[in-house]
């Protein structure tokens, strides 16, 4: 055949050693093996292309695994940082609200007591002045009537002096009366002093808490916006949400309405913004503070001050409603933190992650969080 390899003559010696065994000997065994194997051809695919493909695939797979690992680490760290920062911001703001509310609650009776103490002291001073004036008029005014009264007084004193009593009975009675009066006086003074010191401490503590609140308010407001509001609003495709505080609209909020969400909805304000809720709580604190300062200034300026009972009732009602507002704020914040903690697991790359990315499930989950928080935290609406 023309395509067959060329033939070569070789010599082979075959010897039979047994019935079924032979020995083959030849000096050209290499040529015989080469003829049997055929000519060896160089393969570019097997020698170059296939190793290159294997190397490239290996590099791609290892790089992909490294990228997924890096992606999971970064995503989990970011989600953890968001959740941790939200929790710290909530703890700081909730503690500030609680401390300020308690200081205001105990300040109200303390202010009332101090105002009443000033009024009592003024009335007592006026009474003593009137008594001294009356005695002075009696002593200075001459007349027979006065001489008669003086004579009757001397007769009464003489009669009492002539009465015979046991010296031992006098001493026992004097000791008992004196000791009882001193004990009662000491107890009264001690209790009064202790109560007065407590009210003075509460009075000073209120203005100390007011100072701390005013110093930290702007910082807390910014922290709440960036730690609690912006991440979830961004996931809900509401990055352009206006987070600015309109003080004119906030001043219209009724601080005696126990339904915080209802009041926000009435004025078309975003009920899901914790920054807005904190700003409204601040406004209600300032309204109460203005009412308390008004009472204090009137007590300082008036010689005989009084505490306005309707104002006290109104302040007490606002403090109770403010506590309800603070509880709603805490509930919404807890729901927000739980949502951020749930994002840690979802930040890990997996088949479900790809599915959520393709179906825009992150936005759906954020919107669902808003609905769930509202259903769990909003109080029942009042009957019309």
- Torsion angles phi and psi, residue 35, rounded to 5: -65, -40
**What are the tokens at 249?**
């609209």
131-145, 172-186, 323-337: the lowest-pLDDT one: 172-186
- Residue 24 β-bridge partners: 14
Q: Which is more confidently placed, 344 or 220?
A: 220
Give the integer Cα–Cα distance in Å for 246 and 175. 73
Calculate the alpha carbon distances from 224 to 75, 89, 194, 345 in Å: 22, 6, 41, 24
Q: Which is more confidently placed, 65 or 166?
A: 65
Q: Classify burial at 285, counting beta carbons within 10 Å of its beta carbon; exposed 0-12, middle 13-18, buried 19 or more.
A: buried
53-67, 107-121, 141-155: which is most confident = 53-67
Q: Which is more confidently placed, 6 or 251?
A: 251
Give the integer Cα–Cα distance in Å for 78 and 55. 34
Whether the per-residue pLDDT at 163 is higher than 60: the answer is no
The pTM (predicted TM-score) of the whole model is 0.70
Place of tokens 């407001």: 221
Q: Which is more confidently placed, 53 or 193?
A: 53
Q: How many CA atoms lie within 13 A of 1 on its CB side?
A: 3
Task: Give Cβ neighbours of residue 354 (< 8 Å, ≥ 6 apart).
Answer: none
Distance of CA 282 to the CA centre of its chain: 14
Q: Is the dihedral of CA 198, 202, 204, 208 positive or negative?
A: positive
Closest CA to 329 of 204, 202, 228: 228
Percent of the chain with pLDDT over 70: 77
Q: At what angle do helices 50-140 and 309-346 cross, to 10 degrees?
A: 170
At 14 the pLDDT is 73
Calculate the alpha carbon distances from 305 to 39, 102, 114, 301, 358 in Å: 123, 26, 10, 8, 71
Task: Give Cβ neighbours of residue 33 (< 8 Å, ≥ 6 apart).
Answer: none
Vertex 246, ends 266 and 382: CA angle to 5°? 20
Once rounded to an integer, what is the mean pLDDT over residues 282-293? 93
Count of beta carbons in the 10 Å neighbourhood of residue 79: 20
Count of beta carbons in the 10 Å neighbourhood of residue 241: 15
At 213 the pLDDT is 95
Name the maximum alpha-carbon separation found in the chain.
183
- The tens digit of pLDDT for each residue in 362-373 reads 888 999 999 999
Q: Which is more confidently placed, 356 or 200?
A: 200
- The tens digit of pLDDT for each residue in 112-124 reads 888 887 777 777 8
Model confidence at 167, pLDDT cuts 50, 70, 90, reads low
83-97, 219-233, 258-272, 274-288: the lowest-pLDDT one: 258-272
Residues in the chain: 384
- Residue 14 β-bridge partners: 24
């Amino acid at each position: 055949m023309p395509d067959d390899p060329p033939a070569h003559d070789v010599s082979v010696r075959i010897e039979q050693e047994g019935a079924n065994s032979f020995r083959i000997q030849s000096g050209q065994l290499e040529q015989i093996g080469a003829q049997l194997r055929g000519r060896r051809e160089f393969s570019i695919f097997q020698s170059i292309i296939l190793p290159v493909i294997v190397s490239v695939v290996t590099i791609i797979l290892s790089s992909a695994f490294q990228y997924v690992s890096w992606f999971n680490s970064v995503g989990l760290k970011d989600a953890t940082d968001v959740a941790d920062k939200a929790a710290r911001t909530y703890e700081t703001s909730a503690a500030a609200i609680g401390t300020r509310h308690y200081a205001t609650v105990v300040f109200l009776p303390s202010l009332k007591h101090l105002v009443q103490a000033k009024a009592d002291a003024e009335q007592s001073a006026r009474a003593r002045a009137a008594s001294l004036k009356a005695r002075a008029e009696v002593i200075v005014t001459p007349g027979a009537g006065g001489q008669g009264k003086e004579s009757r007084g001397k007769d009464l004193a003489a009669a009492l002096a002539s009465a015979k009593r046991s010296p031992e009975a006098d001493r026992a009675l004097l000791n008992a009366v004196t000791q009882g009066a001193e004990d009662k006086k000491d107890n009264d003074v001690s209790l009064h002093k202790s109560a007065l010191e407590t009210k003075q401490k509460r009075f000073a503590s209120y203005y100390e808490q007011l100072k701390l609140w005013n110093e930290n308010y702007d910082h807390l407001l910014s922290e709440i916006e960036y730690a609690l509001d912006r991440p979830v609003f961004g996931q809900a495709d509401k990055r352009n949400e206006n987070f600015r505080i309109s003080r004119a609209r906030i001043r219209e909020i009724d601080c005696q309405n126990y339904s915080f969400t209802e009041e926000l909805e009435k004025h078309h304000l975003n009920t899901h913004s914790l920054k807005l809720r904190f700003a409204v709580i601040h406004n209600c604190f300032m309204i109460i503070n203005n009412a308390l300062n008004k009472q204090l200034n009137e007590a300082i300026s008036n010689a005989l001050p009084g505490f306005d009972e309707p104002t006290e009732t109104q302040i007490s009602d606002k403090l109770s409603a403010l506590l309800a507002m603070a509880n709603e704020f805490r509930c919404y914040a807890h729901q927000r933190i739980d949502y951020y903690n749930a994002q840690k697991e979802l930040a890990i790359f997996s088949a479900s992650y790809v599915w959520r990315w393709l179906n825009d499930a992150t936005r759906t989950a954020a919107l669902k969080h808003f609905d769930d928080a509202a259903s769990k935290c909003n109080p029942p609406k009042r009957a019309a």
